[in-house]
Structure formats: C-alpha cells, structure tokens
Amino acid sequence: MTKETENKVVKQATKIDVLKSVLNANSVQDQFKNALQENSGPFVASVIDLYGSDSYLQGCEPKAVVMEALKAAVLKLPINKSLGFAYIIPYKNKGKLEPNFQMGYKGYIQLAMRTGQYRFINADKVYEGEIKERNKLTGWIDFTGEKKSDKVVGYFAHIELLNGFSKTIYMTKEEVTAWGKKYSQSFSHPKGLWKTDFDTMALKTPLKNLLSHYGYLSIEMISAIDNDFNKSPNEEMKETANSDTIDIDSEEVQVDEKPEKKPTEKKAKQTEAEF
C-alpha cells in the first residue's frame, strides 16, 4: 500500500469516525428517538452504512449529512438508495460538496397513503399506443389503447380521493426532459440521477406536481415538499420572488441544483441602515 493510499484510508476512517461521533451525541440521539422511537437505532445504522459506502457523500461534512438524514427521519422514510423513498445526495457548490435531502417518487406515494384520504394513487410509464383518448377540458385520459412497442412515450400520475375527486397529470417524455433541462442544473451531469435513473426522476415529476397542486396536503407532505431539494417551477418562483439570483457552480454530483438568493438592493440598503 502506497503512502498516498494509506493517507486516503486514514482520512476516510477519520470522517466516518466523526460521523459516528456526531450521531452518538445525546442531542442528536434524542432527535432521532423523538422522530422514530424504537426504530431510531436501525435508522442511525443506515446513515453510517450510507456514508461509508458513498465516496461522494464522504466529501461532505459529517454533521451536515446527519442534519439532512434527520429530515428523512422526521418523515419516517428510509434513505436506502435501493428502496427509492428518499436520498441524501451530494452536490458541488463553489467547489465544496454539500449534502441535500431529496424525495423519491415512492416517498411521495408513501406520505400520501398515510393520510388515509386516497382511494387510488399511482404513477407509471406510458408506452407507444397506450393512449386511446384525451379530453383536454376535463383532463381525463384513456390509457386502454393497445401497446405497440416497448418505447416509452410519457409518464403519468393519478390520484382519487375518498370524497370522489380525481385528477391525472400526463407528461410526454419530451416534456419531462424539457422540465429537467430547465429546472435541474444537474440534468446533463454524467453522475446525476437524470442520467443514472431517468425513469425514477421522470415518474416523480408529474407525481409531485399533481400532489402539490391537487392532492390532500398533510403536515408531512408540506414538510416533504419544502425540504425536497428538487424544486418544481412554482416552488422556484416562490423562493426567488422579489430577489436576484446568484450563479451556482454547475459541477454537482447526483443532484438537482437550486439557485441561491441574495437580498434585493432595497433590502440590502435597509440592512446597512440598521447597523
């Protein structure tokens, strides 16, 4: 083993040790226990496993990773990548890797089911030939057409509440792609989720928009939408309203980037006046 390799191993071990130290702090333990009760132990173990197996995440400060993991814990969603409920994804901001909590489409379905207000909730791919009829006025779409090939032409999300209200959102593959290009600065990154798992991101796009606009919004759902780093157009508009934006370093790793904010000129002058 070369000296350089030994240094890397020592550095990696040190960061994992720091993560464990943060997780063992009484205040942090209390927060996980308050969120998960008897399930806090297995969840904390999953945080250690995730950090230890993700070389990109190890580039982030351990304390910041734990803070993002707490967001998933509060929502009682696992952060195991293979499950697809929630993720902690590192991105590069001005040369520094920072972790961010991000919801998976399965996480949104899980939170919706917990409300007990949904009769049906579904999201799926649509293949060539399956769309038989569309009613633009009512939003009703007939997907009973005969599948002609394995070519995916779009993605849909559908909900029906117990009170009888139902709504479907359908987006063509081109529309989903355009959405990703416009609102995700990591869309073209070779290690981004849009590249490594396009279908997952594509399914989440209509589902999140459907639930945020037409769904039953529980406190958990509102919290999930607010904390989700992958912003939809209306959320981006809300965050950047009456403010200028600062350019972000686009060298992120597996992330949907969001713009940072700086105060308007008027607000900046007011702040200076206060001092």
Per DSSP, what are the bridge partners of residue 98?
91
Most confident segment among 3-17, 72-86, 241-255: 72-86
Q: What pLDDT is stored for residue 36 in this prediction? A: 96
Give residue 138's identity as a one-letter amino acid code.
T
Residue range 112-137: mean pLDDT, rounded: 95
Angle at which helices 3-24 and 62-74 pack, to 10 degrees?
Answer: 40
Read off the pLDDT of residues 29-65 as tens digits, 9 standing for 90 and up.
999 999 999 999 999 999 999 999 998 899 999 999 9
Q: What pLDDT is stored for residue 229 in this prediction? A: 67
Give residue 209's identity as a one-letter amino acid code.
N
Work out the pLDDT band at 268, boundaries 50, 70, 90.
very low
Residue range 86-96: mean pLDDT, rounded: 85
Count of CB atoms situated within 10 Å of the CB of 3: 7
Residue range 15-27: mean pLDDT, rounded: 94
Read off the pLDDT of residues 210-262 as tens digits, 9 standing for 90 and up.
999 999 999 999 988 888 865 544 444 343 333 333 333 433 344 344 444 44
Whole-angstrom Cα distance, residue 248 to residue 246? 6
Whole-angstrom Cα distance, residue 229 to residue 99? 10
Residue 49 tokens read as 């496993």
Q: The pTM is what?
A: 0.75
How far separated are the first and last CA of the chain, in Å rounded?
57
10 Å CB burial of residue 126 (0-12, 13-18, 19+) is buried
Pair type for strands 141-142 and 86-93: unpaired
- Selection from 220, 254, 257 nearest residue 81 by Cα: 254
Q: What pLDDT is stored for residue 1 in this prediction? A: 53
Cα distances (angstroms) measured from residue 128 to each of 2, 132, 147, 150: 55, 10, 6, 7
Q: What pLDDT is stored for residue 210 in this prediction? A: 95
Q: What pLDDT is stored for residue 251 in this prediction? A: 38
C-beta of residue 206 within 8 angstroms of C-beta of residue 156:
yes
